[in-house]
Structures are given as structure tokens and as C-alpha cells.
Amino acid sequence: MATSGTYNYLATAGVIVTEALRKIGVVEEGTSASTAQIEDAMPALEMFLKSLGNKGLMVWKVQKATVTLVASTNAYTYDVNYRFTEITDIQYRDSDGNDTPLIELSREEYSRQNNKSLEGQPTQYWWDKAPLPGNDRIYVWPAPDTANAGSSQALIVTGILPIEDADDSTPDGTYDIDLPSEWYEAVAYGLAVRLAPHHGLPITDRRELRAEYKEILEDTLNFDRETASVYFRAARRGD
């Protein structure tokens, strides 16, 4: 049996919208959504893609940022191109390239540090998350002294990036969506669930559609998990 030998199938936002509209009977099989239909559905797709960041760790969105330490400085930003939805860990890297994990603090715990001018090797951090890129702050304690700052010492910040926008300023659906192909079916079903009320799909059909979506989403989330052991920690007051 001959196979394609390729693994590069990509779906544009327009393809996903078309599939979603087919599932609720708005677009017939064998036809594609019109430009107007795609443009009308793009806001719902954008909001749905952003909400997927709440489903847990997406290992393919893990990114590292390196932050150079400055003596006597507690607060740091990182690359404005990053807007982490979650920071999974921060390591202090010394001049020999050795990494030491920092302990995460809640806002309340950091505010209770009565001597924020204390200097030494950073051992703890608080992530002050902002809604827009470039405005996040990482506060370390103690502040690095001269022996623990400079071009050879840094914070290695590991976090989860958000899913990219499905389009730029022109909502024509021509861009590929920022997801592995294994997510395409779940996204099409999820978008269909969100579009169904606007197109008058009966409530009984919407319930069936939602049940199918939940089953497909569960399978997809199982695909997107790490195979190594996972360790959980108890939430702190103030988190």
C-alpha cells in the first residue's frame, strides 16, 4: 500500500471555521464557508483559542527566557515578545553554568519580606503577572549582590506561551492556527459548540454536540501530556 510519506498537514483558520459550520449545518458538505461567514466566526475562534490556555500544560508551548541579573536589583522584566500564561519554574544560573531552582512566593509572602534590600544569591521569586506583553515583573529575593550579578549570572525562566492569534488585523482566515494537527478536530468541535446558539441549532442537538466535543477534547488533552512523572504541590494562601 502506498502512503504519502509526509507529516505536514496544516489547517488554516478558514478551514477550521468551515468544519465548525458544517457540524451545525450552516455549510453543506463539499462547499467552503464564505468570506463573510469566516469573518463573522473569527472573533469566536480567537476567544476559543485563548481559552485553551486554561486547559493545563501544553508542552509544545514551553519556552525559556534568560534574564541577566543586575546587582542590588529586585525587579526584572523579560523579552517583550514573551507573555507567559504560566511560569513553571525559575532557575538561578551561576558563572559556572550551574542551575539552582528558586522557590516561588505568593504576592502576600513576597510583601511580607521585611528586608527587601538584603543582597546575596537569589533563592525566591514572585511573579507579578500583567495582562499585556512587556509588563510582567519577576521579583527576586534576596537581590543579587555583585558576586551574583553580571553577564555570567542569570535567571532561566521557563514558562508557557499563549496560543498565537488566528489572524492579524484582517480576519480572512488565511493563517494556519498555532496548534499541533492533533488539536484540529477538538478546535473545530469546540468552535461549533460556540457558534451553534448564534445559528439557531436546537438545544437537543447542541447538547449532543457538546458531549461529542468533551469526549474529543479529553482524548486530545491526553495526547498533550508529558510521559515523565509529574509532581504536584499544595496551593499557598494568596495564590
CA-to-CA distance for 107 and 2, rounded, in angstroms?
A: 59
Supply the mean pLDDT for the chain.
Answer: 89
pLDDT digits (tens, 9 = 90+) for 4-24: 999 999 999 999 999 999 999
pLDDT surpassing 80 at residue 224? no
pTM, entire model: 0.80
pLDDT surpassing 60 at residue 230? no
pLDDT surpassing 80 at residue 226? no
Q: Find the mean pLDDT for residues 92-115.
A: 95
User: What is the reported pLDDT for 148?
Assistant: 96
CA-to-CA distance for 54 and 52, rounded, in angstroms?
A: 5
Q: Find the mean pLDDT for residues 99-113.
A: 95
CB atoms within 10 A of CB 194: 16
Nearest-CA neighbor of 138 among 128, 148, 130? Answer: 128
Q: What is the DSSP string of 127-147?
A: EE--SSTT--EEEEESEE-GG
Residue 234: pLDDT band with limits 50, 70, 90: very low
pLDDT digits (tens, 9 = 90+) for 32-70: 999 999 999 999 999 999 898 777 667 888 999 999 999
* 77-86, 93-102, 111-120: range with lowest mean pLDDT: 77-86
